[in-house]
Structure 1
Amino acid sequence: MSSPAVPLWTPCNWLTPNFQESGVFSLVFIPKIGDEGLYFCLFKQQEKKEREKVILLAILTATIFPAAPPPKDSIVHLVASVSPNFIGRITWTGPSGTPLRSEVKGKETLTKVPRFNAEDGGTYVCVFHPKDNSSRATFSFDVAVEVDAAAEASYTNVTQGHQISTASIAGVPFSLSCPPIQGDYVQVYWQNMDKKQEIKQLYQYDRWRDSQEQKKGPVLKRAGPPYNAQTGSFSFLMKPLVEDGGLYICMVYFNNKRYSQSTKLSVLKGIPSPKSTSLHLCCYYSAWSQVQQVGWTYQNRHHALQRFSPRIGLAIANISLPISANTAGNYTCTLRLKNGQEIWAVYTITLPTKGGRQSFRPAL
């Protein structure tokens, strides 16, 4: 029967010097993976056991990816594990002493620092918390990380989803889709296609730092269940204005990859505009390039409806005043996209009251 494997030490450093005279029997060695476990120190005198001490040696391993120094704008991984892994837990703190969000993946405890730059450089601390530790003692290990300012992370590997072409009524909640991938952080870009503006970053959220940045433009809100931005599942809600129509790109970053989902959104809004002798029902819409047709219809198909379009992005129905039984009722502005999708806004016009009041309101 073979004996169990034991750590190997060189004769010069396996015990403290002059241990026979001093009585200090301390082992001195540099542990490596595989040396973890229980160590027994037994004191005997004349074959009689006087004292026994048991020491549990745990091996903690910390790694950095990409290898230090990481290029700027990279997603830095700080990974730590302890063996045996059942004896405690691991946390990370940043250079400022702020606790970092960490997740347990198998036997490893992981934290990430997305978009790593010079201000993120410094000493990161890996802290081991033993279980059932009445003294609440912890063991800290420093990991120095500085950015390589001369190098920049490359995210050339882009997975693009099928472009979405859709439309929404102004002021109605709209869900903006993102790639169905659990990511580290997300960026949303927007382009006003009608004004031929340059595409710009609209929103950014970093789940590891739990920080967001909303820039001027359409207002986005992180969607709730079944999505959870804090775990990397992204989607957004908005109540778009007509001028919020255009091209949206949701970019999700995970490790050294990025995933893209683009959406072309047209927004429709109907507004009544009373004139001296007529009522104009104005139908505004955006993202013209994907729109096939926009127009007004009246519930009474036999009544001729005066319609005109003074410019692209606006369709008007002209209704003579005063309103009569032949012109009161529901008017519908319908927008049809080139892909066949249709949305519509309905306005109800009532007959004047005895006091001469006129009602123009959206139909529920």
Structure 2
Amino acid sequence: MVVFALTYHSCRVSLRVHQNPIGKTNEEHVNSVPKIIAQRLLLGLLTLFVVSIIIFTAVNMLPGDFAQAILGQSATPEAVAAIRRDLGLDQPPITRYFTWLAGVLQGDLGTSFAQANFASFVGEDSGTRTTVADQIAPRIKNTLFLAGVTAVIAVPFAIGLGILAALYRNSAFDKVSNVFTLTSISSPEFFVAYILILFLAVLNPWLPSLSNIYDGMAFSDRLEKTMLPALALTLVVTAHMMRMTRAAIINLLASPYIEMARLKGMKPMRVIVHHALPNALAPIINVVALNLAYLVTGVVVVEVVFVYPGVGQLFVDSVKIRDIPVVQACCLIFAAVYILLNLLADILSILSNPRLRHPK
């Protein structure tokens, strides 16, 4: 995940427009907005293509062999070769990559190795193989539900905390909130998760420690079982959003229009909410988008700790048994979500610029 995150961030260009360059009119700036958005979309597609190459290469470099693992150490070379032939693993890597890429472009993520019926042993292909999409569909729904619950809690909490920290800058509240956020961001996810389990499920049995949700479960029960992993993720992502909100607002408090608003007798909270916050949206939108992407792509540890049946848990289980198509699909979904939300943040940052939205 770090590889494609760094790859994508190295390609990004600052989107803030502080003033009109010499010789350019507002009309030229307005006309450039669709062009900038188109460039970001093309850059995102190119990044996703590069990431797909990295994913395929990295996954196929994993130690071990699925055919050998499923047949055991006593398997004959002929049996191993037959399994590899059924799975297409006997083909050159370049052929397998383009076959996989062509399937992805058509919406076919492949067939799970672990659920395959091997023609070499049953005499013919029974046609009952489980596709990767069939395995991932319910899992991604669960992961998105967890991410949604976390976002509903974390985003308003972090932005509100950042606004209050900026309003009461250098006060005891500001110092305590900074210590709290720095502590939460410095703690590993599994540590935060186990601390929550200890205090909220073991010592005080208020919430279930295991998030064993399933299809057809009542919404209230699903929400209750999702609350602990959602709280763990909230503590992890709050710090980034809170500190960025605080810093962005404080940077604007010395602006002339803020001073004018104060001289008019406006209350400090009104000055921040109605005047400073709208002009600080661009960096806040970016950090919120990054953390929303993390809620989908970075949930592996939390899902494993709470045994939550999401994409992260499926990813770990598939790595253990070398189920290459499922691992590749999970990685590609993580990458696509990350890039998509970054593109959305870029576009919203462009559209939130008053000079582009309201030309004179």
Q: What TM-score, normalized by structure 2, do the two folds share?
A: 0.19
Larger Rg over CA atoms: 1
Structure ranking higher on relative contact order (CA contacts 8 Å, 6+ apart): 2
Q: Say which structure is richer in strand.
A: 1
Return the structure number with greater helix share: 2
